[in-house]
């Protein structure tokens, strides 16, 4: 995988630190951060700009913005936010290459969409299909022939067994297990440590072992 020498991130918190290390491992560097909140920079020596206005002002000063790449450092159930920020980056010509940590295992037959991230010690197996703006977090496992929509976050240590189908903007919580051939509908949340033995309805939250509906999010 190749990233540009210079990168910008949206989000100035812990996930920005994780992505900076990943980008550095591939020989790149982060030159700017953006955040909706007036928080300090997560990275020493890297300036942070606030909100859409801060981004637009920064972008207007870039002579060769099309030579830069970008990533979204926002995790959790905020898949829609990641996708919206992707659209903003695209409109300004920033590249959105996927980021795959050198210590991850990524099958040669798997595919990954723009701006998605596979972090250290994660496993992506044969013929997995990952959409855009997804996060496969540390030590997460996505087994063979599973399909993830856009904006999905598979949290640390979560396991998707073979042939799992995950809709857009889903959060699979830390340590959760989704059994083979299960479908998780769009905008659903699977709680941390849950064991999913049957399909999960769109917009719902499930938790426990076996996982049961906990809260309707629609």
Q: How far apart are CA 50 and CA 217, in angstroms?
A: 29
For residue 122, which of 186, 70, 174 has the smallest C-alpha distance? 174
Is residue 86 among the annotated active site residues? no
For residue 61, how far is the Cα from the chain centroid? 28
Token representation of residue 141: 């496992």
Q: Output the CA torsion 117→28→19→62 (10° steps).
A: -90
Q: How many CB atoms lie within 10 A of CB 191?
A: 20
Break the chain down into helix, strand, coil percent, rounded to 5.
15, 30, 55
Q: Are 148 and 142 in contact (CB under 8 A)?
A: yes
For residue 159, the 8-state DSSP code is E
Q: Residue 178: how many CA atoms within 13 Å on its side-chain side?
A: 36
Catalytic pick among 15, 86, 101, 144: 144
Q: What residues act catalytically?
A: 144
């Amino acid at each position: 995988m190749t990233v540009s020498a210079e990168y910008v991130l949206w989000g100035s918190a812990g996930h920005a630190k994780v992505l900076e290390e990943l980008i550095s491992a591939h020989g790149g560097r982060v030159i700017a951060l953006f955040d909706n909140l007036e928080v300090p920079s997560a990275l020493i020596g890297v300036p942070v700009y606030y909100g859409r206005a801060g981004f637009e002002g920064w972008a207007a000063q870039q002579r060769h913005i099309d030579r830069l790449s970008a990533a979204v450092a926002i995790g959790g159930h905020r898949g829609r936010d990641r996708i919206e920020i992707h659209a903003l980056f695209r409109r300004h010509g920033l590249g959105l290459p996927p980021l795959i940590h050198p210590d991850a295992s990524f099958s040669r037959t798997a595919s990954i969409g723009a701006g998605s991230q596979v972090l250290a010690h994660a496993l992506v197996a044969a013929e997995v299909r990952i959409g855009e703006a997804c996060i496969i977090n540390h030590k997460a496992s996505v087994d063979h022939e599973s399909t993830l929509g856009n904006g999905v976050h598979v949290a640390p240590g979560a396991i998707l067994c073979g042939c799992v189908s995950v809709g857009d903007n889903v959060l699979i919580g830390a340590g959760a297990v989704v059994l083979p051939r299960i479908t998780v509908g769009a905008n659903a949340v699977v709680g941390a440590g849950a064991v999913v033995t049957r399909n999960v309805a769109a917009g719902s939250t499930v938790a426990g072992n076996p996982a049961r509906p906990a809260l309707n999010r629609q």
